[in-house]
């Protein structure tokens, strides 16, 4: 009986060397980085960016690998701080117009992102929270015309 030989690719994940006493049972170091991310890792990350609650079994089926492989890879990506899974609330659904406030260097002192559904809502926010204040020297509203990148991906079609 002859067995046809097919090319086979083996991907080895680097083991993280233990450090200190008891490290062999403690698991990987939180600062450990995977040896290199491969196409499967990037695909898993992409799937989880679109649906952070995607089941490992569904991801495994889509990639043609075992559920255990997906679970291990996600665990390694989380342990190495490459991946973080979190819930992101839509500020409009919560009624929270201000999404962040940043102290900045340069022409401005503060950069405040406000999300409003209409121009009237923006005008009301500016009148109530900005123009009516004596402690603000100036306010320079900027209206976003298009979003080209959003790392958290909520609100994107």
pLDDT of residue 23: 40
pLDDT for 157 equals: 40
Give mean pLDDT, residues 40-55.
Answer: 92
Long-range contacts of 93-102 (CB under 8 A, 24+ apart): 97/121, 97/125
Q: Which two structure tokens, joined as six digits, stand for 54? A: 């995607």
C-alpha separations of 18 from 36, 62, 71, 73, 150 in Å: 19, 34, 21, 19, 37
**Whole-number percent of the chain with pLDDT over 90:** 43
pLDDT of amino acid 90: 75
- Give the pair of three-digit tokens for residue 19: 């450090």
Condensed to tens digits (0 to 9), the pLDDT of residues 140-152 reads 999 888 888 776 6
Digit-coded pLDDT (tens) for 21-38:
444 444 444 455 556 899
Q: How much is the pLDDT for 8?
A: 36
Average pLDDT over residues 150-156: 54
The more confident residue out of 40 and 50 is 40
- Going from N- to C-terminal start, the domains of the chain cover 23-79, 91-131
pLDDT given for residue 63 in this prediction: 97
Please write the tens of the pLDDT for every residue from 97-107. 888 899 999 98
Q: What are the tens digits of pLDDT across the range 55-76? A: 999 999 999 999 999 999 999 9
pLDDT, averaged across the chain: 78
109 Cβ partners below 8 Å, 6+ apart? 103
What DSSP element (H or E) covers 100? strand 98-103
| Domain 23-79 belongs in CATH node 1.10.10.520 | no
């Amino acid at each position: 009986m002859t067995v046809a030989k097919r090319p086979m690719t083996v991907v080895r994940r680097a083991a993280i060397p233990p450090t200190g006493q008891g490290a062999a049972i403690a698991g990987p170091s939180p600062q450990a980085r995977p040896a290199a991310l491969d196409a499967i890792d990037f695909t898993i990350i992409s799937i989880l960016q679109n649906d952070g609650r995607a089941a490992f079994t569904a991801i495994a089926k889509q990639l043609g690998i075992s559920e255990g492989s997906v679970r291990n890879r996600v665990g390694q990506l989380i342990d190495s701080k490459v991946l973080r899974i979190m819930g992101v609330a839509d500020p409009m659904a919560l009624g929270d117009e201000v999404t962040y406030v940043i102290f900045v260097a340069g022409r401005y002192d503060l950069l405040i992102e406000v999300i409003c559904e209409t121009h009237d809502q923006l005008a009301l926010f500016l009148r109530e929270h900005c123009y009516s204040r004596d402690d603000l020297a100036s306010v320079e509203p900027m209206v976003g015309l298009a979003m080209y990148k959003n790392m958290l991906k909520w609100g994107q079609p």
